[in-house]
Amino acid sequence: MNRVICACGKKNKDKLLLLSQCCGRYLDHFDTIPAPDAESLMRSRYSAFVLGRGDYLKKTWSETTCPSDLSFEPEVKWLGLEVRTHRLTGPANAEVEFVALSRLKGQPTRLHELSRFVKDTGRWFYVDGILRTPERPRNA
Ligand SMILES: [Zn+2]
């Protein structure tokens, strides 16, 4: 169980990190180990989607934009994450652009989003995301 590879796909010297070395730290120790930057938070939120950890998604969502009803699409199978860019846009603001691949009822789906994050009392929170060019699977 402890040898599970982290779903976010983060590597250290070409080796995929284990969940326990990567997002699992933030998912399981939310109160004591905050994600150190917006990219780590974004990765851990992706892992939370994969693992169905709605509790973590809520805790890391800005109060201003967090939906009151957070539901998962149980049939989505997450296939991978690629973080394109991560940059600070202010002393307490950051943006992360990523592509997340998934499959819903056999249909490949590509989510390309620019997410915005804000830092508040030492923690990063997800604010919202802007979808980049809607990308449809080829031949669909
Ligand atoms: Zn991870």
Q: Which domains does the chain have, with CATH numbers?
A: 11-131 (3.10.450.50)
Q: How far apart are CA 130 and CA 121, in angstroms?
A: 25
Nearest Cα to 52, choosing from 70, 32, 79?
A: 70
Residues 6+ apart with CB under 8 A from 100: 46, 78, 80, 81, 82, 110, 111, 113
Q: What does the block give as tokens for 72?
A: 């998962």
In angstroms, what is the span from residue 137 Cα to ligand 1's centroid?
A: 26
In angstroms, what is the span from residue 24 Cα to ligand 1's centroid?
A: 7
Asked whether the beta carbons of 115 and 93 are under 8 A apart, the reply is no
pLDDT for the residue numbered 6? 97
In angstroms, what is the span from residue 126 Cα to ligand 1's centroid?
A: 16
Q: How far apart are CA 123 and CA 119, in angstroms?
A: 5
Query: In 10 A of CB 48, how many CB atoms?
Result: 22
pLDDT tens sequence for the chain (140 residues)? 568 999 999 999 999 999 999 999 999 999 999 999 999 999 999 999 999 999 999 999 999 999 998 888 888 999 999 999 999 999 999 999 999 999 999 999 999 999 999 999 999 999 999 998 765 655 54
In angstroms, what is the span from residue 139 Cα to ligand 1's centroid?
A: 32
Residue 57: strand, helix, or coil = helix
In angstroms, what is the span from residue 32 Cα to ligand 1's centroid?
A: 17
pLDDT for the residue numbered 140? 46
Q: How far apart are CA 100 and CA 109, in angstroms?
A: 8
Place of tokens 């009151």: 68
For residue 19, the 8-state DSSP code is G
Asked whether the beta carbons of 102 and 76 are under 8 A apart, the reply is yes
